Chains A and B, each alone.
Chain A
Amino acid sequence: GAVVSQHPSWVICKSGTSVKIECRSLDFQATTMFWYRQFPKQSLMLMATSNEGSKATYEQGVEKDKFLINHASLTLSTLTVTSAHPEDSSFYICSATPQSSYNSPLHFGNGTRLTVT
């Protein structure tokens, strides 16, 4: 149980275009999902907290207008990278937890490799 699915696994786009990444909780409902970014050979950096039915909470230094997050249902959150540039190329991973208690571990999707040319 507690499967988190991300789509697509990888995407290549041209500079200036927008890319949407989906994160789904397949067998549980998640009022909160998290988006991380991982640079090559580095750790995960929390970008934002996606809240179902309300605005996302962004970490300091993350551009809200660049990384649009929508959490329209209890099983789906989307991250849209708008007007993508080569420096946005990275590995993006979402996560969620099936329980409401803070000590329940996060489950991660398999990530999306974004390459902006």
Chain B
Amino acid sequence: AQSVTQPDIHITVSEGASLELRCNYSYGATPYLFWYVQSPGQGLQLLLKYFSGDTLVQGIKGFEAEFKRSQSSFNLRKPSVHWSDAAEYFCAVGTSGTYKYIFGTGTRLKVLA
């Protein structure tokens, strides 16, 4: 069965520091992978997506993610975090042939001034 694991429930970084949020998935074929961000009380905003091709994908707000098939990972990175990046981040895998997404449990990011 497909699954998505985000090992870190909470992460705290200082403003200006680099960030990496981990995501591991379990899926039999090449997955469609997504990262979404959710501010408190809000819906989800798409940061970036991977379908095929270049394994390093660029997203909005300075985020990037790298698909590593051998590690079944799709980690999200940002070189320098801003205070406005504090939010909940969700990794999701889309199953081929459907619109259904499986979400990870999320990582709550706190940014220290």
Closest to B97 in A: A102
B70 at the interface (CB under 8 A from A): no
The residue that A111 contacts in the complex, of B36, B42, B90, B108, with Cβ under 8 A, is B42
Q: Does the CB pair A42–B43 fall under 8 Å?
A: no
The residues of A that contact B55 with a CB separation of less than 8 Å are none
Q: Does the CB pair B101–A46 fall under 8 Å?
A: yes
Contacts A93-B44, A108-B43: A103 and B94 contacting too (C-beta < 8 A)? Answer: yes
Q: What number of residue pairs across chains A and B have CB atoms under 8 A from each other? A: 55
Q: Does the CB pair B43–A103 fall under 8 Å?
A: no
Closest to A38 in B: B38
Q: Does the CB pair B103–A102 fall under 8 Å?
A: no
Q: Does the CB pair A49–B99 fall under 8 Å?
A: yes
- Count residues of chain A with CB under 8 A from any CB of chain B: 24
Q: Does the CB pair B94–A43 fall under 8 Å?
A: no
The residues of A that contact B90 with a CB separation of less than 8 Å are 43-44
Contacts A43-B105, A43-B106, A113-B41: A103 and B100 contacting too (C-beta < 8 A)? Answer: no
Chain A residues within CB distance 8 Å of chain B: 4, 6, 32, 34, 41-44, 46, 49, 91, 93, 95, 97, 102-103, 105-111, 113
Chain B residues within CB distance 8 Å of chain A: 32, 34, 36, 41-46, 49, 51, 90, 94, 96-101, 103-106, 108
